[in-house]
Chains A and B, each alone.
Chain A
């Protein structure tokens, strides 16, 4: 491939580019879904292609194609330079990139069992057994069941006119199951494990999927779904709120992950994803949360969906603080956005979901660092509150201030003990007030959750990102948002 990447870069240079890089990428995805005893998805997807990004006449251009041959690379390189020059025509200042250490390394996700070498029959058999277990648990009430698996692999080559040449092999896999209980007099109730929306994922081998022990969790999840049909509606009040892993990770994602992306702070997502309340003038002065809140961006942590060796600009994986002891101290950035605000280096957050997409500032693993509590101690320390689990619904405004979430299930906490179950739980808040009210987060159940469905950009891209967290407690939160029935 080196001859092709060199040819692309030489062509860009000859056409007047001051900088160019090329990514040649192969992506493989395996999807299996069993639904109500039937095969619903049995699919293999494969994408091969390349993308050339270059600077010329002060503008940035990008073009890609599915066909990494010499002729097509030449056509696309010409197009990328033409686009860069057209882009430069509206700029008053040329695009600048902060310096980086030129890398020539390689990286592979550490795995024990290659998900693409595990026989498909084995994966299907586990999902069929899970789905059957759910259906047979209580056929009168459990009316809908499904079990999912997904494996993903990327082989990437990155090369630039600065001398970088990097190869990477990224692997992730995971899955989960859901069931729906329907009982007279109650709207349908859904429960999922280990998370909703197809489960949980990790940059790991097939051993991660096995470690989720789906079959062992069928009984209690089906029982919870049935119990929800008889549960009381979540009350409408202001109370103490405990969020556990699968909901807390999305709270982190929406209210810290997105607003600390420097491209949207600088307005480049103003027309689509939105901007951010965490503006540059507030860096190192905004009290984002309580002193118990420390958030990091960390692409080095094992198993996270945002874990890799290098980002799509060739920046080596790193860990940085976004919020330190409650103070807003850092951004997720790229070489261009870092230069725009005078940062010395990129945070290494440039990622593209496919070879033909322009890399954008994307989350890697955005983590809430544990504040030293044990989960059960947080519960025992809570006199009155609600514990919510497993995301069901999400929405947040374009500056990432007003959010509203719903979860599959909740429990009342009274005098330090978990009590009755509530259905249709929801809560809402304003980001800095909400994180300002956090006084505890646990370490014993702290782990990295993976969500492969983060949307951003035009044309749209869907990125896989990770979030580390345990269980956290917040005070004076509005729950039970009025329902529009």
Chain B
């Protein structure tokens, strides 16, 4: 597959040379080329169909401990030179960051990482007609499951991303990646109720997307959602399907294990590293080098090599994730977790893997006396991040389980509970799911927890 590696190299050489000529003490630059195509479904038709092409140049210029950064959607040399000049102008008038010592220096990238496997030419060349074909397959499959299926919504997407990260200390990192993913929500309706089901899959090769399977699962969930009852708030056992577990582990990583939030007193794990805070059954790590992940990757947004970082080992809090600045503050090495979002960058685990168990969801149900089976959660947010308290609502299917049997579907219910409480005990852990996901979701199995606090419903 053709790539723009040489062109990108010429651009970063230009940037570094320009910054040096302007007197910069250090410079970091990232160029990202993105082609994204997304076909969106709603009401069992293609509702939106879009294609984007981006060229994003990011330059951070340092004069000692002063810095200025620009992020421009430009690609011509004269525009890039202007961007460097503006970054330098900002840096000259910037206050100092006394915590900044240096940009990262080059380190060896994983030699066993199979870079070629990250690219699929078929995915790159996916046409609108191909995505429409998938859309029709999902629509036809879902409607064939049950006559009460009313609407299929969701999307089919393919993305090609090339990224180069370089700095004036010699870091020079390049990777190209293709991904495709699909997600479907199926709505079903009779004369009394409307129900919903959901499923998703992601692959590097668009032809391996399990479109028919996930459309069928979403439709079957919707079809089995009729006869909903309300659940009184309180503590119940809970069976979390993989996507539900993944929502909880993502927020656990985000608000607990990032060094920036820890240093800013926002982490619920402040001063608790090394303690046994979670169930002995829980081991959780961040590993972007895991090649089974669709979003596997060699380096972070500073060009620092990715690595496996153990976060929880048999219930014991082991490590935070760092980027260069936060590592400097704590006197440790970056773990390769720098993530540039909107606003300040921060280190976060974006490829979380939970140690798998051996139980199936059916076995979890059979071991439940009074509990709730959850497909996934909607609109999760921290209520009190410094104490690890989260809230969210069930979505696209939740069922009441009693004495080892699924009894009836439930109307939407809200939980409000703390990570340190609900992950304190874990009864059972499942195997990795058949379907894959894009970052920030890694490989997360189903779980059964003995106690989970539901605080409200769509009735109260």
Q: Which residues of A contact B (CB under 8 A)?
A: 31, 33-35, 37-49, 59-67, 76, 79-80, 82-84, 86-87, 89-92, 120-121, 124, 128, 143-144, 180, 182, 187-188, 198, 266-271, 274, 356-358, 393-399, 401-402, 404, 406, 424, 426, 428, 430, 458-459, 462, 478, 481-485
Contacts and interface: CB of A to CB of B under 8 A. Distances in A.
B96 A38 contact: yes
Contacts, number: 277
Interface string B355-396: 000000000000000000000001111111011011111010
Given A91-B46, A267-B43, A484 B418 contact: yes
Nearest to A127: B95
Interface residues of B, number: 97
A30 to B, nearest CB: 9
Nearest to A143: B265
B50 A395 contact: no
A64 B53 contact: yes
Contacts of A478: 456, 460
Interface stretch (B10-18, B148-156, B426-434): B148-156
A40 B52 contact: no
Interface of B: 36, 38-55, 66-75, 83, 86-87, 90-91, 93-100, 127-129, 131-132, 135-136, 139, 151, 153-155, 157, 183-185, 187, 196, 198, 264-266, 342-344, 378-384, 386-387, 389-393, 395, 412, 414, 416-418, 420-422, 453, 455-460
A402 B457 contact: yes
Nearest to B36: A459
Contact of A484 (B71, B135, B379, B389): B389
Nearest to B198: A271
Contacts of A268: 40, 42-43, 47-48, 153
A39 B96 contact: yes
Given A41-B343, A180-B264, A406-B383, 15 more contacts: A38-B95, A38-B97, A43-B68, A60-B47, A62-B51, A65-B52, A86-B49, A143-B265, A266-B43, A268-B43, A271-B154, A271-B155, A393-B391, A428-B414, A481-B383
Contacts of A61: 49, 128
B53 A66 contact: yes
Going nearest first, the 10 A-B pairs with the smallest beta carbon separation are A484-B417, A484-B418, A271-B153, A270-B153, A86-B128, A271-B185, A268-B42, A38-B97, A87-B46, A271-B154
Contact of B50 (A63, A67, A121): A63
Contact of A46 (B70, B184, B187): B70
26 contacts: A33-B343, A33-B344, A42-B69, A43-B71, A45-B71, A49-B73, A66-B54, A66-B74, A66-B75, A82-B128, A87-B49, A90-B135, A198-B343, A268-B153, A271-B42, A271-B155, A358-B48, A398-B395, A402-B393, A402-B414, A426-B416, A428-B414, A430-B458, A481-B391, A481-B456, A483-B389
Nearest to A404: B391
Contact of B416 (A41, A266, A462, A482): A482
Contacts of A402: 393, 412, 414, 456-458
Contacts of B54: 66, 356
A66 B73 contact: yes
Majority secondary structure, A binding face: mixed
A424 B384 contact: yes
A35 B265 CA distance: 13
Contacts of B36: 459
B379 A187 contact: no
Nearest to A45: B71
B53 A65 contact: yes
Contact of A187 (B129, B184, B386): B386
Contacts of A62: 48-51
A269 B42 CA distance: 7
Given A180-B265, A187-B386, A270-B185, A404 B73 contact: no
